[in-house]
Amino acid sequence: DAKTTQPPSMDCAEGRAANLPCNHSTISGNEYVYWYRQIHSQGPQYIIHGLKNNETNEMASLIITEDRKSSTLILPHATLRDTAVYYCIVRSGTGANNLFFGTGTRLTVIP
């Protein structure tokens, strides 16, 4: 599975969009980009995933560059409850169903 690089921390004003970047320059053709988050000490929570097209669900949008070497998770209207550590993970859809978590980005939403 490809490695990912994320900034260690970011701040975002409440009500504004939070844009969390992730670099995955060694991603291969069959690898998906997944995003999870971990609020305080709870178990990680799945947010969204994609292969090459942009994806949107009720929680967030995922923008993947055309060369697939980077992506951005967008929380359109951040709330205080979105304060969490966000993990970008790249994994093969045909490999064992395990996830390699790095240290993620700690997003702090500021009132």
Partner 1 sequence: NAGVTQTPKFQVLKTGQSMTLQCAQDMNHEYMSWYRQDPGMGLRLIHYSVGAGITDQGEVPNGYNVSRSTTEDFPLRLLSAAPSQTSVYFCASSYHLGQPQHFGDGTRLSIL
The contact set with partner 1 (CB under 8 A) reads 32, 34, 41-46, 49, 87, 93-104
- Residue closer to partner 1, measured from CB, 16 or 56: 56
- Residue closer to partner 1, measured from CB, 17 or 45: 45
Rounded to a whole number of angstroms, the minimum distance from the CB of residue 97 to partner 1 is: 4
Rounded to a whole number of angstroms, the minimum distance from the CB of residue 82 to partner 1 is: 18
Rounded to a whole number of angstroms, the minimum distance from the CB of residue 111 to partner 1 is: 26
User: What's the 3-state SS for 16-57?
Assistant: CCEEEEEECCCCCCCEEEEEEEECCCCCCEEEEEECCCCEEC
Rounded to a whole number of angstroms, the minimum distance from the CB of residue 50 to partner 1 is: 12
d(CA 111, CA 88): 25
Which two tokens mark 97? Answer: 């169903």
- Residue closer to partner 1, measured from CB, 94 or 111: 94
Nearest one of 3, 57, 77, 10 to 33, comparing CA atoms: 3
- Residue closer to partner 1, measured from CB, 15 or 102: 102
Which two tokens mark 42? Answer: 């709870």
Going by their DSSP bridges, the two strands 45-50 and 55-56 should be labelled as unpaired
